[in-house]
Structure 1
Amino acid sequence: MQIIRTPQHPWQPQGTVYGTLLNFQREWDLWAPRMHDEPHKAPPKKPVLYVKSANTFNAAGHDLVLQDGVSEVDVGASLGLVMGHDGQIQAGALLLDWSVPHTSYFRPPIKFRCRDGYLGLPQALTPFQSDWDQLNIEVLCNGLVVQRVALSTLKRSIPQLLADVSDFMTLQAGDVLMVGTDCLEGGLRPRARAGDTVEIRAAGLEPVVQNVTTGGAA
C-alpha cells in the first residue's frame, strides 16, 4: 500500500475535521435504552457529528499536554477519511481523538473535545483503500494493547456514513470525516495520564504515537 509521505512537513488537515458519535454497534446498543428519554425522545436518524477545531491539531512528534487541572484523558482511536475535489474519499489517516472524560454523547461537549492539541495526527496520509471497512485498529498504552477496534462493527459502514452525511451537508476537498471511536465493554474508553505513551496502529497506515505530559508546550 503506497503511503503519501511528507518527511519534512508532517501532515495537517487542510479543511474541517468532523467527528462522528455513536457509530459503533456496541456503544449504540449501550445507549439505546436511553435514546427515548428527554430531551431527544428518539434515536438519532442522521449521523451525530461534532467539529475538531484547528487548535486541536497536534502534528506528529508532539506531546499531548494536559492543562487546566485535567489529570486523565479518554483515548479515541479513529480512522479519518480525507475528501478529494470530486467529493470522494481521497486518502485516510489514523487519528487520536482525545477528550476529557464526560458522560454526554448526544450533544457533543465542545469544551471537553476541542482543547489545544486534542487531535493526534500521523506523519502522512495513506491513499484510500476500499477494504477499510474491515480494518482493525490497535490501541497501546505504554506498549500494552488496551483496545482493539474493528471497523467491521461500525453501525454505518464507510460508504453508508459518507452517503448519510452528504444528505445534509457538503464535504469540501481537504475536509476530514472521522468514522467514530469505539468504547470498551463497559461503555468507557481507554484512559491515559501524564507519563503514559499512547500509540494507535493498523496495517498499512501510518501510526500515531503521543506522550502525555503536563506543563510546558507541546
Structure 2
Amino acid sequence: MTFRTRLQYLLVKKLQVSNRRALEIILSGEVYVNNEPVLTNVELGQTDEVRYHNQVLKEAKKLIYVAFYKPRGIETTLNTAIADNLKDILPFEDELFPVGRLDKASEGLLFLTNDGTLYDKMLRNENKTEKEYIVTVDKAIDDDFLTAMANGITIMGKTTLPCQLEKIDDYTFRIILIQGLNRQIRRMCYKLHYEVERLIRVRMGSIELEDLVAGEYRILQTPTK
C-alpha cells in the first residue's frame, strides 16, 4: 500500500479530468498545497492539504502515535466480529493500527498509529527492532534454562536467534528479542518444560511501557526508529 501520491493523479481522481487537463490546472497556479500555490506536479504526503478554487480536494491528516497497555485477555485485532477485540476497548475516534502483535494471554506495550508510512516502515523492520519482555514461569529458573534460552531453541522447525536474558528472581526473567515468531517465548519455554504464567512486553525499540497500567495509553511524538 502506498501512502504518497502525485498532485496530478489527485486532480484527475477528484476533478474527473484528463491527465493533460490536470497538468494545465497545476500550471495555472490555482492549486494550493498547505496554503501555498504550486506550479509543479509535487508529491503529496499524508499531512498535506490540497485546495482548488477553495474546494478542499485533500484534507490534512493529523498523525497520532500512541503507547497502549494491552490488557491480558484481549486479541490484537481490529475485527469487531472477533470476541475481546482490540477496537472495542480503544478510546480513540481515529482508526489506529497496532504495529506487531501480542497474543491474547500476553499483556503490555502495543504501539498504535494512523501514520501509514511509519506503520509500513516498522512492519518491514520488525525483525530488526528489539522487543523486551518480563516473563514469569511456573518453576524456578536454573542456569541451564538461561543458557538454552539465550543461545537459541528450535521451535516450529526454526532455531531462534541468540537473545539477551537476565534473571530477575527465581521465577522471573527479562528477555530481549529481535524476532517475532508466533508465541515465540511461550514455545521456547515449553520446549524446556516450563509454562509461562505471565508475559508483559515493556519495550519496542525506543518506545517504553513506563508506568502505564492495563488499558491506559500515552500519546507520543513520532518515535525514533
TM-score normalized with structure 2 length: 0.21
> Which structure shows the higher helix fraction?
2
The higher relative CO (CA closer than 8 Å, separation ≥ 6) is in 1
Higher alpha-carbon Rg:
2
TM-score normalized with structure 1 length: 0.22
